Amino acid sequence: MTESPWEYAPAPESREAANLKPSYRMFVDGEFVDGGGEPLKSINPATEEPLAEVSSASESDVDGAVRAARRAFADTWSTMPGRERAKYLFRIARLIQERARELAVLESLDNGKPIKESRDADVPTAAAHFFHHAGWADKLGYAGYGPDPRPIGVAGQVIPWNFPLLMLAWKIAPALACGNTVVLKPAETTPLTALVFAEICQQAGLPPGVVNILPGAGDIGAALVAHPGIDKVAFTGSTEVGKQIQRSVAGSGKKLTLELGGKAANIVFDDAPLDQAVEGIVNGIFFNQGHVCCAGSRLLVQESIADELLEKLRIRVRTLRVGDPLDKNTDVGAINSAEQLAKITELAASGDAEGARRWTSPCPLPERGFFFAPTVFSDVQQSMRIAREEIFGPVLSVLTFRTPAEAIAKANNTPYGLSAGIWTEKGSRILWAAQRLRAGVVWANTFNRFDPTAPFGGYQESGFGREGGRAGLEAYLDV
Ligand code: NAP
Ligand code: MG
């Protein structure tokens, strides 16, 4: 392919829109307060510069927040008619829309994701989750869990850094709609949009204590899930921490849902529309720098079309623009942290050492910040670490298969089971494969589609429980 003869002019979104403050405080019982923990410094991963200081919680703050949530549960939220709760959720959804630009710019600064993704995916989908669940709040009796399903109580929720505001919405919207109150711990590296969300709760007039936000590191997450005043634990993050949490709540009677890691197969059959499949493969692994639990990180391609597909894929990947997350033309932004960049680099090196063939996009990378060029490994064997472990970065592992049965066997040969993709022209093959794939979500001729009406969740080491839609309500009802 010849290089493009012209360059894009920079199209930066204004950083001012983020309304960045020098410091942020935690949110407990309807007030912003200083925490007893060591303050955190959130940095911009695209420049390595500090963005803001964030006060963090201590163990006694966890106790205070859980008590506030308990009072709010008993005194107001659990006894309020669903149609009244719905009004608050609708207000929150509309306020997210009103402050969408601020939230999108702040998310891109704190997380490193391209502004076109925070603007067009994260923030609107977060608002959509509140709209969707606002609609359920007064219709829970028709959700299939009995005529008058009751809330569980106080939910302790811990979320990761890859979709900070969106994971918050997945957690808080169903909890509130069902009449529970929450204490949520955002990830240490991305606490800022959660604290703007706390402002939105104040703006919406949400009764104090219904939502409490406690920034902090992993120890605060551990203290929260272990607190005896919590009735329900909801966690999204790594399988390793998920297992620790499962041990910590065992025997306590707490209800638990875990949304963990993944190593999804994206399967391309020989009759697939190849150009369309290339777009889906790119979206599947390079969206959000590949920091996506359901990323299509294992490409399974039928042998007879592998060379042609890989050639088309490399041509397409070369056009991805890597760089400033606030530039509207950027396709791949910054890796969220130095630790994550080191993890990606180490796993990619294991691919070289185990004999896979590495191809790296020749794109220029910024001199500062945490960046990793889009990378495709071919000649990958199922035993290699890059085929088994979650890389959580812009690295695709390509394997081949000869028959549909071999494709299914390889796709299911993983300890995970969060998502899968199928590319084929045949409807019958889509149904045949979807029935055999052990994955919570199966996309056909598309990838990474998120909708609040569709339940999302895993099999095996990808966790259990569903978030979204009617099925997702079960996690927050006493059923
Ligand atoms: P992580 O290390 O498990 O962290 C997730 C959250 O748990 C963070 O808030 C973290 O705090 C906290 N935490 C750490 N140790 C804890 C402990 N012992 N007890 C309680 N909480 C603890 O995961 P990550 O590396 O940030 O996130 C990436 C992982 O999340 C990937 O494996 C990805 O697949 C998974 N993920 C899954 C889904 C899904 O829906 N299935 C969605 C998104 C991401 P700190 O931030 O301070 O470390
Ligand atoms: Mg940050």
In this predicted structure, what is the pLDDT of residue 56? 97
Domain-located, residue 162: yes
Q: pTM of the entire structure?
A: 0.97
Domain-located, residue 230: yes
Q: What is the DSSP letter of 51?
A: E
Distance CA(424)–CA(397), nearest Å, equals 20
Range 296-311 average pLDDT: 98
**Residue from 38, 233, 241, 341 to probe ligand 1 pocket by mutation (most atoms less than 8 Å from CB):** 241
Domain-located, residue 353: yes
Ligand 1 atom index nearest CA of 462: 41
Ligand 1 atom index nearest CA of 217: 47
- Catalytic annotation on 240? no
Bridge partners, 423 (sequence order): 268
Same domain, 365 and 310: yes
Q: Provide the percentage of residues in the chain whose pLDDT is more than 70.
A: 99
Instruction: Give the closest residue (by CA) to ligand 1 atom 40.
Output: 259
**Residue from 166, 236, 419 to probe ligand 1 pocket by mutation (most atoms less than 8 Å from CB):** 236
Residue 260 has pLDDT above 80, yes or no: yes
Same domain, 230 and 295: no
* Residue 222 in contact with ligand 1 by CB distance below 6 A: yes
In this predicted structure, what is the pLDDT of residue 432? 98
In this predicted structure, what is the pLDDT of residue 3? 58
Same domain, 172 and 278: no
Residue 202 has pLDDT above 70, yes or no: yes
Ligand 1 atom index nearest CA of 248: 19
Residue 113 has pLDDT above 70, yes or no: yes
In this predicted structure, what is the pLDDT of residue 6? 79
Residue 1 has pLDDT above 70, yes or no: no
Cα 419 to middle of ligand 1, angstroms: 18
Same domain, 63 and 197: yes
Same domain, 397 and 417: yes
**Residue from 113, 168, 238, 263 to probe ligand 1 pocket by mutation (most atoms less than 8 Å from CB):** 238
Which of 455, 456, 413, 463 is CA-nearest to residue 438? Answer: 413
Range 403-422 average pLDDT: 98
Q: How many domains does the chain have?
A: 2
Cα 166 to middle of ligand 1, angstroms: 14
Residue 196 has pLDDT above 90, yes or no: yes
- Catalytic annotation on 199? no
Same domain, 185 and 326: no
Range 140-147 average pLDDT: 97
Catalytic choice (13, 117, 188, 259): 259
Same domain, 278 and 426: yes
Cα 239 to middle of ligand 1, angstroms: 8
Which of 190, 179, 183 is CA-nearest to residue 137? Answer: 179
Range 247-276 average pLDDT: 97
Cα 112 to middle of ligand 2, angstroms: 8
* Residue 330 in contact with ligand 1 by CB distance below 6 A: no
Same domain, 373 and 408: yes
> 215-235 pLDDT, tens per residue?
999 999 999 999 999 999 999
Range 231-249 average pLDDT: 97
Residue 367's CATH number: 3.40.309.10
Residue span of the structural domain in which 336 resides: 265-444
Mean residue pLDDT of the chain comes to 97
pLDDT-derived band at 468 (thresholds 50, 70, 90) equals very high
Domain-located, residue 110: yes
pLDDT-derived band at 8 (thresholds 50, 70, 90) equals confident
Domain-located, residue 3: no
Instruction: Give the closest residue (by CA) to ligand 1 atom 18.
Output: 222
Residue for token pair 């008590």 = 67
Domain-located, residue 453: no
Cα 230 to middle of ligand 2, angstroms: 28
Residue 2 has pLDDT above 80, yes or no: no
Range 2-29 average pLDDT: 90
In this predicted structure, what is the pLDDT of residue 7? 82
Range 100-120 average pLDDT: 98
